[in-house]
Amino acid sequence: MMNSASLSSACSCLTWRTSSIVPVQLGFNHSTKYKSSPGRFHIACSSSSSSSDPLLVKAAKGEPVSRPPAWMMRQAGRYMAVYRKLAEKYPSFRERSETTDLIVEISLQPWEAFHPDGVIIFSDILTPLPAFGVPFDIEEVRGPVIQSPIRCEEGLKALHPIELEKLQFVGDSLRILRNEVEGRAAVLGFVGAPWTIATYIVEGGTTRTYTNIKSMCHTAPQVLRALLSHLTKAISDYIVFQVESGAHCIQIFDSWGGQLPPDMWDRWSKPYIEEIVSTVRNKCPETPLVLYINGNGGLLERMKGTGVDVIGLDWTVDLADGRKRLGSGISVQGNVDPAYLFSPLPALTDEIKRVVRCAGPRGHILNLGHGVLVGTPEEAVAHFFEVARSLKFTTPQGHVVEEPKLPVIDSGAD
C-alpha cells in the first residue's frame, strides 16, 4: 500500500525515451486448441507478496515501479479487425464468451497486437448468472434479456448457490492465459457488483431509467436485500474461483452504481461490495481488487471505504483532484477519455503524459476512463501502449510532497 510518499509531485517524475512505437448449462463444445495445466493456481491465494509479480500487480499494491503499467477496458472487441472476422464465423456472443478456445483467442488478440501490461479475460458480467439460477439470452438489438425478472419473494425461489462447475470454461481460460503470457503481463478477471447485476435481474435487461429496482428499495426492500445478499455470496465465490484459476487481479464493475444518489449507494451497493472484499481478503489476501463505477465523481471517498486496493476513475474526474480526495493508502486507475483515441496522435501523447504526471509515480495503472469505443483506430490503441512503455519515472518514489500538482510537460525531450 502507498504512504504519504504516494502523493509526490507529478511535475518532475517522468522522462521520455524513444521506443518503437443459450441453454442453462453453460459452455459450448469445441476442440481444444490451447492446453491447460491441471488444478488451480493456489499460489495466487498465498499470503505473501512476490518480487516476481507483474508490473500491474506491483502498481496495484502501491509498490515502486519504473513506469506506469497500462491496459484498457474492452481492449478486446469490435474495434479490432481480427475480432470482427472471428465474430463473423461465430456470431453468437454467448458462444464467443463461453467457449474456452474462443475466450483465449479473443483475450490474446490485443496482447499479441499491442502487448498491454494486463490481459483481461474475454467474458461478461452476466456470464455467471445461469450458474446460480438466472438464465438469460442476448438479443441483437435489445442486448441481454432475462425472461423472468425477480421482483417478489416468489422469484427468489429460483436462486441457488453458484455451481462453479458450470463455469469451468472460465477457469480453464484463465489457466491457459496465465500460461500463455508467462508472467509478462497480469491476467485479469472481473465481476459485476451486486447492485449492478441486480439491475439486470430486476429490470429484465438493460434500462435507462432503473425505475423498477429503485422503486423496490422502498416497495420491496426485503426482497431486494435478499437478492443482493445472494448475489454477494455468489460473486465472492466466483472471484475466489477466478483467482484460484490464475487471475492475478480482479476488477469489480459497479457499472450502474453511479445511477444511485450517494446516500442510496451507501445503503444498496457499498455494504455488499464491502462484504465481497472482506471475503476475498480472507481467502486471497494478496490479490489486488479494483473497483470501477461509471460516473463516480460523487462517490470517490465512499468507494475508498469499501477496502479495495485500486479505485478506477472515469474521465470526468480530474486525476490530480481524485488523488487529493482519496489521499494515501490506495492506488488509482485511469483515466484517459476514450475519445482521445480518435484525436491526432500528438494530442493523445500529451494527454497520456498529463494523466500519468497527475497520478504521480506510485500506485497508478494507466487506463481509459471507460471502455474502448467501437470504431477506435487500432493505430491509436497501439500508440497508447507505445507511449506508456516510453515513460520512465526518474524522481525517487519516496519523495514526499504535500499534494500532486498539475504538471508542466517538458516537450524538449519529445
| Helix, strand or coil, per DSSP, at residue 345 | helix
Query: What are the DSSP E strand ranges found in 254-341?
Result: 289-292, 310-312, 331-336
pLDDT in tens, 103-129: 999 999 999 999 999 999 999 999 999
φ, ψ of residue 251 to 5 degrees: the values are -105, 130
DSSP annotation of 172: H
Task: Give Dmax (Cα) for the chain.
Answer: 67
Give yes or no for a contact between 40 and 244, defined as CB atoms under 8 angstroms apart. yes
Mean residue pLDDT of the chain comes to 88
Residue 230's H or E segment, with its range, is: helix 221-245
**Predicted TM-score of the model (pTM):** 0.88
**What is the number of H-type helices and E-type strands within the chain?**
15, 11
Q: Which residue has the cell 525515451?
A: 17
| Sheet of strand 364-368: strand arrangement | 118-120, 186-192, 249-253, 289-292, 310-312, 331-336, 364-368
For residue 50, name the pLDDT band (cuts at 50, 70, 90).
low
For residue 409, name the pLDDT band (cuts at 50, 70, 90).
very low
DSSP annotation of 294: T
pLDDT in tens, 75-103: 999 999 999 999 999 999 999 999 999 99
Q: What would the grid cell of residue 177 be? A: 492465459
pLDDT in tens, 343-397: 999 999 999 999 999 999 999 999 999 999 999 999 999 999 999 999 999 855 5
φ, ψ of residue 155 to 5 degrees: the values are -65, -30
Query: What would the mean pLDDT of 156-169 be, rounded to a whole number?
Result: 98
Give yes or no for a contact between 128 and 234, defined as CB atoms under 8 angstroms apart. yes
For residue 402, name the pLDDT band (cuts at 50, 70, 90).
very low
Distance, CA of 93 to CA of 137 (rounded, Å) = 10
Residue type, 387: V
Q: Percent helix, strand, coil in the chain (nearest 5)?
A: 45, 10, 45
Chain centroid, CA 39 distance in Å: 25
pLDDT in tens, 296-314: 999 999 999 999 999 999 9
Whether the predicted pLDDT of 5 surpasses 70: no
| Helix, strand or coil, per DSSP, at residue 359 | helix
